[in-house]
Amino acid sequence: MTQPVRVRFAPSPTGKLHIGGARTAIYNWAFARANHGTFILRIDDTDPTRSTEENTQVILRAMRWLGLDWDEGPEVGGDFGPYAQTERLALYREAAERLLAEGKAYPCFCTPEQLAEDRAAAQARKDPFQGYQRRCRNIPADEARARMEAGEPYTIRIKVPEDRGDVVIDDAVHGEVTFAAKELDDFVIFRSDGTPTYNFATVVDDAAMGITHVIRGDDHLSNTPRQVMVYEALGAPVPVFAHISMILGADGKKLSKRHGATSVEEYRDAGYLSDAFVNYLALLGWSLDGETTIIPRDVLAREFSLERISKNPATFDPKKLDWVNAEYINRMDNATFTQEILLPQLVEAGLLDPEPAVSIDEEWTDRLAEIVRPRTKMPADAAQVAAPIFATAETLVYDEKAVSKGLAKEGMGAVLDRAREALGSLAEDAWTAEAIDAALEPLPEALDLKKRVVFQAVRVAICGNLVSPPLGETMALIGRADCLARIDRARTMAL
């Protein structure tokens, strides 16, 4: 029977959750879901100078916004807790003591000065091995214990077997990767201040938590041989590693603040939809079939596989993210768009009072959503597109360039006069988009003007700008009386 999949996302709370970390979290979550496995969130907070509870909460908020529900971890619990490394120090000490007792690790009493001297000497003699020279490896156990008990400062180093050959891992993304045995020194697993090193603590945790697959950025690839040494010393099975490529900016350099927003919460605050953001990040290094771009969360959770992760770096394209976001908005039904985007944005923009927003006419808002939604790439666009509809003839703001181009030209006064006459003939109960369009349609020929010129003038008069949703549908939502009043006001600007 195949062992159930158990994966973890283990961020260090030293700052905000950034795009690279978010993508790693998405891949771990999706892999767990696709394999009916367990997704664990662990907080690797052993850096006392940078790890803070505030940063931990930032990460948890970002994870919740991304919709990456974890099966074990903070606020959820589980059988393998605690899920913060600062609460697991006793486990690391116990594991280190066991390795000492089994002769798989040893105390090192070398001072920083001694280590620097040994390194310089190795470099001077062009020694192919310039790591730790194993000066303390063969100190008799009794002598070592006595020096430890006497209070002499020491670190604990793992004892890499002298006959250990090259470390070869079958990475799920990169394939077979070989690390030369000569590069493996007896590295420190416990510092002199009594804290574990990253490569030791993370392996102790992964082994204790039964992690079957380690999916992480390829900046950790160089840590892998040392971590394999720890797994072997602990007698624990080595998980499957999958190292995913870095994310680059458009200039081909590693994504950073110089490329713009980098933290998850910045994108949340900018108005991106969680589902769209997760969809886009998932595509940075993974594909469903090489063609499909819009991949709903449930499809990602069902179809994700390590085999389709690319080993090549991915390029973060803000325009592509915007397109994906717009697609998610455009695919909403009107009711969802109204409740999740349109009404909240109208309230935020001050176009609608919070209280009436919940009881506004459903049929009217449905028609409004129908014309606003296709023109909304970001939530804030909804209020901008709808703003002229919520104005009045007295409050409508006219764009100067639009007035100059659409009204302040010879003959535009006559256009508005004929438009008002045609529209004024429509009764209140006949004020529909179809009737409005039909009333305006004959005007260009009657005035011997291009259709664009005529409708542009009317559009500026009604909306104050040159870009708006379909004119007839917009005017139907505004209402007959106010549309006629807007034309009367605009007539004073037309030649």
**Cα 431 from Cα 11, distance rounded (Å):** 59
Q: Answer yes or no: 253 catalytic.
A: no
Structure tokens, 210: 């039964």
**Cα 9 from Cα 12, distance rounded (Å):** 10
Are 320 and 314 contacting, i.e. CB atoms less than 8 angstroms apart? no
- Alpha carbon 487 to its chain centroid, in Å, reads 47
Helix (H, G, I), strand (E, B) or coil at 244: strand
Are 455 and 471 contacting, i.e. CB atoms less than 8 angstroms apart? yes
> What Cα–Cα distance (Å) separates residue 44 from each residue in 72, 90, 426, 459?
14, 15, 70, 58
Sequence-distant (≥ 6) Cβ neighbours of residue 206 within 8 angstroms? 8, 214, 239
CB atoms within 10 A of CB 169: 20
State the catalytic residue, choosing from 16, 126, 182, 257. 257
Position 228, amino acid? V
**Cα 421 from Cα 321, distance rounded (Å):** 47
Give which of 112, 26, 68, 482 is closest to 286, Cα–Cα: 26
Are β-strands 247-248 and 188-190 bridged in parallel, bridged antiparallel, or unpaired? unpaired
Return the half-sphere exposure (C-beta side, CA atoms, 13 A cut-off) of residue 101: 7
Are 104 and 233 contacting, i.e. CB atoms less than 8 angstroms apart? yes
Rg of the chain on CA atoms, in Å: 33
Q: Which residues belong to the active site?
A: 257
